[in-house]
Amino acid sequence: MSMLYLDNAATTPVRPEVLEAMMPYLTQWFGNPSSHHTVGEAAADALADARARVARLLGMRAGDVIFTSGGTEANNLAVKGIALGAWQLTGRRHLVTTPIEHESILESAAYLERMHGFAVTRVPVDRQARVHPDAAADALRDDTALLTIGYANNEVGTVQDVAAIAAIARERGVPVHVDAVQAAGWLPLSASELGVDAISLAGHKVGAPKGTGVLAVRGRLPLEPLLHGGGQERGRRSGTEDVAGAVGLATALELAEGDRAEASARVTAIRDRFVARVLATVPSAELTGDPVHRLPGTASFTFAGTSGEAVLLELERRGVVSSSGSACAAGSDEPSHVLVAMGVDAEVARTAVRFTFPRWLRQPLDAVADAVAASVAAV
């Protein structure tokens, strides 16, 4: 079996169409979009066009779109920027999130606690990593500045009922930020339909280069910038914009949205067959995350009595590249904070293996499931 890359939640290859769209702004029209000459103005026009295209996909206004260096920066700007802006304007100093969020959310919340005296409520999740809307409602207070939640979990793939949670927060006058980094290309991204006020995306999850991302945040919300300088991005994110990256991100998102429904249905069927075969052939296998409300391209397991890292090495020997969880926690000996928050025993959590599939997958993965069974048996 040739090498098969099944770690697409960590990153995806850049799509050829994206590279083609970017190339003119890396070569001929490479100008600084703040420069007032022909080359700069061509870059500024391309940046404005990319901004409008992303805004259309998100159901927001072009002026709401802030280009960033990726999902981590977008999440930091959302959590810190919106929370600090609300504190300055209204005195609110309480944040609501969950214990299964990406590290960029959790560390931003910890920063607000440590440096600015914010109170942070982390809404518990159930065994399948679901946040119940009633629990989110109970966490809201009169001084809540922001509720921030992941649309789909990056480790186990569980999808949250963001619309229901956002509706509750909206009734209480609390803005909602959703981390949609993993959802892009799989789930609807309209902030208007979800009822959220801010949404984060990362380009390299959908076929754009690493180092590209976006935070779209409604203009009515006060936002304290993280980066100060020349006032680019309407003063909310200073620094010379990556025009080619913005064009690439817009192109990748449009391509992903164009066949999202078909790809999601196709990959879901392949995933379900793969999951069933692994559970049938590996006695110690346990699927993690919600079996129904999950990303089409994510299948994550624990294999009690093994070592997750040893299983990964055996899989790679058999031509399958996957991961033990979040790439942002690579090299850590600690069990997954997501699995622990779900109630999984710490030792069992260390046996986790995550398979994340590309959107263009069309063939069944029976051979991969067989490789999983052989790899687990070998350790």
* Residues annotated as catalytic (active site), given as ranges: 328
Query: For strand 285-287 and strand 298-303, is the pairing parallel, antiparallel, or unpaired?
Result: antiparallel
The rounded distance, in Å, linking the Cα atoms of 150 and 183 is 9
Q: What is the dihedral of CA 283, 287, 291, 293, to 10 degrees?
A: -170
- Mind giving me the DSSP string for 262-312? HHHHHHHHHHHHHHHHHHHH-TTEEE-S-SSSB-TTEEEEEETTS-HHHHH
- Tokens coding 148: 């921030």
3-state secondary structure 57-74: HHCCCHHHEEEECCHHHH
3-state helix, strand, coil in the chain (%, to 5): 45, 15, 40
CB-based contacts of 339: which residues, under 8 Å, 6+ apart?
155, 156, 288, 302, 325, 348, 349, 352
- Tokens coding 184: 């892009």
